[in-house]
Amino acid sequence: MSAPRLKAISSIIVLQVRRYGRSLPRRRRWVAAGLDARLTYVINESCIKCKLMDCVEICPVDCFYEGENMLVIHPDECIDCGVCEPECPVDAIKPDTEPGMERWIEINAQYAKSWPNITVKKPPPADAKEWEGKPDKLQHLSSNPGTGD
């Protein structure tokens, strides 16, 4: 990774911690407890069929992957900076430590291996608004890949 990119990532993390004051303390708590420090953010069912993509351009490490009707975050690439969480208009991005995220941790990890990387926002699906806030959208998740960048 180049020095300017590393510097940019450091600045984003510092800004994020100043604004939200959560990720670094969360990481420190895990490390202090001797636990695996690999933390990540995950995308949940709120994204299915909405796929608004406001998050992809802000990620400092480009770790979003695109399915036909949902995005996922690659757990091995996410640096837990948290800057994407407030960017999502439908509240689809959560820390993996939040209750109820178990199924979504699996789904993000599974599809991040096969779907293409996305770093540039595209227009959302034409019917995205109709799907905002609808419950039980997992049944509509498509395993097909998106088109990526």
Residues 29-68 that bind ligand SF4 (CB under 6 A): 41, 58-59, 61, 63
CB of 126 to ligand SF4, least distance (A): 26
96 is an interface residue for ligand SF4 by CB under 6 A: no
CB of 60 to ligand SF4, least distance (A): 6
Among 39, 52, 53, 84, binds ligand SF4 (CB under 6 A): 84
Residue 146 CA to residue 149 CA, distance in Å, equals 9
Cα separations (Å) of 77 from 34, 65, 99, 142? Answer: 21, 11, 22, 23
By CB under 6 A, name the binding residues for ligand SF4: 41, 58-59, 61, 63, 73, 78-84
